[in-house]
Each structure stands twice: as C-alpha cells, then as structure tokens.
Amino acid sequence: MEAVDMTLEIRGLLVDDEAGNTPVIRDSMNLEFEEIGMKVSWTVASDATSARKTIRDEPTFEFAIVDYGLGEGQQNGIAVVEALRARGADTYVLVITGLGNHYPNFREEAIRAGADEAVIRSILNMGRQGGMTFRDLANKVRLHVARKRDFEGLKVTFTDDDLALESTLHQVGSPNPPGADSVAIGKDIVRSLALDCLAPDYRPGATALAVGYLAPGRSGAYVCRVDHQEGRATTSYVLKIGLDRRALEFELAANKKALHLLGAGDLVGFSGQIRSHQESGYHAIAARLATGAHTLADWLDDATQEEAEHVARILFGSQLIKLFAPGQRETRPFDEWLAATPVLRLRVLDTLTLYGDMLATVRAEAGEAPGEPAACDILTTFVNQGVLPGGLRPEGTTTYIDAFGDLHSTNVLVYPAPDNRPVLVDASMYGPHHWATDAARLVVDLVLSVRRAGVASLDWADTTEVSAYIAGLCRTARSRRHVPPADSVDAFIGHVVDNLPTYVNAEKLQMTSEQWHWQWHAALAKELIRQGTRAGLPAPRAAAALSAAVRQLTFAADAFSRIDYAGRTAAVPPPACAAAEPDVTVPRPRAGGSGAEPGTDAQPRRS
C-alpha cells in the first residue's frame, strides 16, 4: 500500500526590507514546521505596497510575519497588517522589529491594527527566556490553523445529557450580557483552551475531540476529560481550567514534587505551559491519561469485590506508602493539627443552624443517653477550641508526612481491565499533612458520596444506617461486629480500614495501639466535619456525617485518655468502639528509646 503523506501544507507571507533577514526567518520556521507535520509555501515581499497587492490578489495566507519598519519614506508594517485584516481574521499575524528603541510603541500600534502578537526580532531569533521562540510561533500558527480548519475535520463535541458538564460550562460562560447563552460561551472557552493545551500533540488526521466532565477542582477550578480520537485510536487527557493562574502555577510545582516521589506510573503529571483565554481570563493545564481510565467512583459501579480490594491494595500498599519514607516526616503540635480554619467554623455554624434539630434526632436514634453533651455543643467546642469531649485538650506532637492531601474518589483514576491499576491525578494539595489525612479523606468521601448514592442519599430514613456504618470504620470495631461487604464500595473501604496500620506505616512511625487509635478517630471526625458541611451534600448525608463525627470524637477522647505520660497504654477497659481484646497489633517503642513516635509524651489536659 502506498504511504499517505499526512503533511499539512500552508501558505506564509514574509515582509521585510532587509534581504539578509529573510533566509534566517524562513529556514528557522521551516525546521520547526517540519517537526510538527507542516510545510510552508512562502511568499516574500520587501515593501508594504507589493505586500498589499499580494494580499489582494492571492489566496488567504495562514500566517504572516511583518517587519514594522520597512525603510525610510515607505509605509510601515501597520499598513500590511490592516490589509491582512481587511481580508478577514483567517491569518495569524506577527509583527517584528529590530529597532525596538526607535519604535517604543510598535507593539501597541500593531495589536491595535489587528496583529496577534508583536516582538523584538532578537527575542525571536535568540529564543530568550520569557519571549517567543520560532518553535512557539510555529505552534501558535498550528493552533490558529487548527481552529480555522477545525483540525482538518476534527469536531469538538461535548457529552450530551451530562448535567455536571452543563453546569460547568454554564459557570465558565458566566457572567455574560443579558440574553447571552452562557453554556455556548462556556463551550467556546473550553474548546479554545482544549485545542490550545493539546496543540503540541496534534497531528493531521484526527477526527474528533470529545469533552466530558471529570471532577470538581480546587480553588474554583474545573476538571474535564478530553478524548482525542485519531481513526480507531483514542488518547485521553485531563484538562484543568481556572481563573486563578497562580493556583495553577502552584499546582504545577506541587505536581512536580509529588511526581518525583511517586513516579510517573502512579501520578498523572501535568506538563507544558499554562494556556490562557484572553477574553475570559481563564487559564488551563493538561495532562495525558491512559485510554479508558475511569474515576474510582465510576469504576466501583461495575467492579467485583475482589477487584475493589485489589485496587485498594495497590493504591495504599504500593503507591501512597511511598509518602511515608523517613525523609518525608516532621512533627507538629496537636493544637495545629486539630485547629479548624475560620471558613470551616462558619460552615459548621451554618450547617448546625440548618440541621441541628435533625442531628439531635439522629443522635437519639443512635443511642445518645439523656444527660450527654448535645451534639452541637461537642462539634462547636471542637472546631472552635480543638477540645475533645470531656474537656480533653491534647498536648504534644504528632507526625506529618508529605501526603497527597486531597485524596477523593474522583482524584483516583483506574485503568481498564485487565490491569485495574489506579493512578492519582491533581496533586495540587501535595505537601505536609497528618499521617491519616489521605486515608480518612478518601474513606469519608466514599461513604458520603459514592456508597448508597442516588435516591438513598436523599432519604432521611437512610441517615441512621450511614451514621452507624461510619462508627465501624475502625479495625477493632470491624473485628467485633464483622459484617460481610454488600458491594465493591464496602469491600474497598473494608480493606483499607482492616489494613490501615500497615498502610500508614504505623510500625515505622513507632506508634502504640492507642496512639494510632485515637488519632485515626480524630482524623475521621475532622473529615466528617469538613465534608459534611460542604455545599451540595444532601441534607440527610450532612446530618449523618455530623452525627458520626460526634461519635468519632467520643471514641478519640476515650482512646486518648488511656495514654499515660510515658506513652504506655493504661490498664483500663478498651474503648467503646473496640473488641474486648484490642486487635490493632502495632509494636510499642522500647522503654526509654529515643525513636518513640512524637506523640508519646502527649497527655490530656482538662479544658
């Protein structure tokens, strides 16, 4: 079969009165265009008059490079720009000059006349940092051609009947003038950013670009999935869009650090530059995904219990365990860990105002005895003062690691069978976090947003069951009243909880059973409060989360009160959530050893 030449031929106009500049620009651009599968047919002019005649008489050019100063007594390059724009907006126009000191306002004039960009010639030739290079220019031309020709037949489509995507597009396209279609505006913005971010991977012959919703992002950003189809092959990407450019810059830096520790096989690495949509102010970054990967939340719908346990084992036992390396640890005071942000305090206050009465009902159904402190009082005291039930204010230090920081069911993608291998995405919060943060955050997210989702999450009758299920998110409690998993979500959660001491490297952190125990319950309580007060969570789940948070705080206080000054477990009955014989077998530090976990000198103080 004869090979098909996929090179895309385009037309370029070069206007410069210095003959020596022409071969430098033309040869440099030809080299860059060859690298990206394009070939240029050049037209060269040395003055504005001949350039304008060419523009009038010949077919439209895909791009033009125009010198600003075209000789003494001659029209300058602005006349050429205006002639190009009179033909339409189909030409990408770059204005250059070698005499920037003579023409201090040349860029403003060029942009005002309709040029896409204007630069000093030496910056283009030398590729100085922060300026446009020949390669940048070639990619910009390719993107412009792609938009103009829609990638030679490439159709950008958006997933139909996807309410999450439609909501995202509406928000991206807002605010807008009265009567404007915000969804259509959002599509234009997302389409432009998707093409811009994916331009470095573009090759002629692509047939479709499908955009769908993937997950909520951080700092008001939106996360989309983009499938780039070339014939029968599909390449998938994550596209993250936000108004806060600094937040995306921070994420790129955090992602780079996390990638160094986790490796490219375990974390999707964002690469390339931040792309911007000038008219809307949105910015975007992209990362390549494995074809067919699904979020953990979606993947669990069709997974077997064995497959769910397999993915949990890889995620925590092979990937996240790397974050517990000795060089990644530091100690911080309990007060700092338990402190709530001012925003969270306000969210708790607002949520309790809405659901306080229902929370009391749920607590009564869960067995809250008369005379016990009210749930609202326990929660507000904890978030305002960091005090556990019974007036316990932990003193001492705990261990922080460089954790993923934002582990939830849409930040974990799972490759399709037969591999069923998880990969992490969106490491924007990578950095120092308490050792239990990742596990607690993912488990609580699965319980509140994935387990028994749908209609059940809107039913108040389901609230007591959810609250009771959360009470069993402890290895000792599960040993006491083991219930076989009902589905893949239960199997995933159960596997994480049963193996948590191993997955958080409790032995290497040298924590006793009680030290591990009370901090796990406190971490669960913190996550239940944080996620239980977030916007959009159904009211029954919010009440269940806050009710369960009270119970977790009670468990934490009970376990903490059993730690004496030397860090040894006191000879008292086991905590309420535990079996008669505690099942968490974590080696205790040797007496007098210097390697004890930083919290071993902790002691309760009555507030």
Does residue 232 surpass a pLDDT of 70? no
CA distance 14 to 134: 14
9-36: per-residue pLDDT in tens?
A: 889 999 998 888 889 999 999 998 888 7
Q: Which stretch of 157-171, 333-347, 493-507 has the lowest confidence by average pLDDT?
A: 157-171
CA distance 376 to 381: 8
Maximum pairwise Cα distance, the chain: 99
pLDDT given for residue 593 in this prediction: 35
CA distance 39 to 35: 10
* pLDDT bucket at 484, cuts 50 / 70 / 90: confident
Question: What does the H/E/C string look like for 332-400?
Answer: EEHHHHHCCCHHHHHHHHHHHHHHHHHHHHHHHHCCCCCCCCCHHHHHHHHHHHCCECCCECCECEEEE
Do 217 and 426 contact (CB within 8 A), yes or no?
Answer: yes
CA distance 147 to 425: 28
Do 479 and 568 contact (CB within 8 A), yes or no?
Answer: no
Do 404 and 427 contact (CB within 8 A), yes or no?
Answer: yes
Does residue 460 surpass a pLDDT of 60? yes
Q: Residues 169, 170, 173, 179: is their CA dihedral positive or negative? A: positive
Average confidence (pLDDT) over 351-368: 75
Q: What are phi and psi of 93, to 5 degrees?
A: -120, 125
Q: What are phi and psi of 498, to 5 degrees?
A: -65, -30
pLDDT given for residue 126 in this prediction: 58
Average confidence (pLDDT) over 525-545: 92
Average confidence (pLDDT) over 594-599: 37
* DSSP secondary structure string for all residues of 122-160: HHHHHT-TTS--HHHHHHHHHHHHHHHHHHHH-EEEE-T
Query: Which percentage of the chain shows pLDDT scores above 70?
Result: 82
Q: Which stretch of 43-52, 125-134, 224-233, 417-426 has the lowest confidence by average pLDDT?
A: 125-134
pLDDT given for residue 4 in this prediction: 35
* Domains of the chain by start residue, with CATH: 8-146 (3.40.50.2300), 154-289 (no CATH), 294-560 (3.90.1200.10)
Does residue 334 surpass a pLDDT of 50? yes
Does residue 145 surpass a pLDDT of 80? no
Paired with 47 in beta bridges are: none
Do 234 and 188 contact (CB within 8 A), yes or no?
Answer: no
3-state secondary structure of 548: helix
Do 43 and 80 contact (CB within 8 A), yes or no?
Answer: no
Q: Which residues contact 125 (CB under 8 A, 6 or more apart)?
A: 24, 28
pLDDT given for residue 564 in this prediction: 64
DSSP H or E segment with residue 422: strand 422-424
Do 107 and 28 contact (CB within 8 A), yes or no?
Answer: no
Does residue 589 surpass a pLDDT of 60? no
Query: Side-chain half-sphere of 32: how many Cα atoms within 13 Å?
Result: 18
pLDDT given for residue 101 in this prediction: 65
Question: What does the H/E/C string look like for 7-60?
Answer: CEEEEEEEECCCCCHHHHHHHHHHHHHHHCCEEEEEEEECCHHHHHHHHHHCCC
Tell whether omega for the bond before 175 is within 30 degrees of 0, i.e. cis.
Answer: yes
Q: Which of 360-374, 426-440, 478-492 has the highest mean pLDDT?
A: 426-440
Summary mean pLDDT of the chain:
81
Does residue 305 surpass a pLDDT of 90? yes
Do 100 and 118 contact (CB within 8 A), yes or no?
Answer: no
pLDDT given for residue 129 in this prediction: 45
pLDDT given for residue 278 in this prediction: 73
Do 72 and 99 contact (CB within 8 A), yes or no?
Answer: no
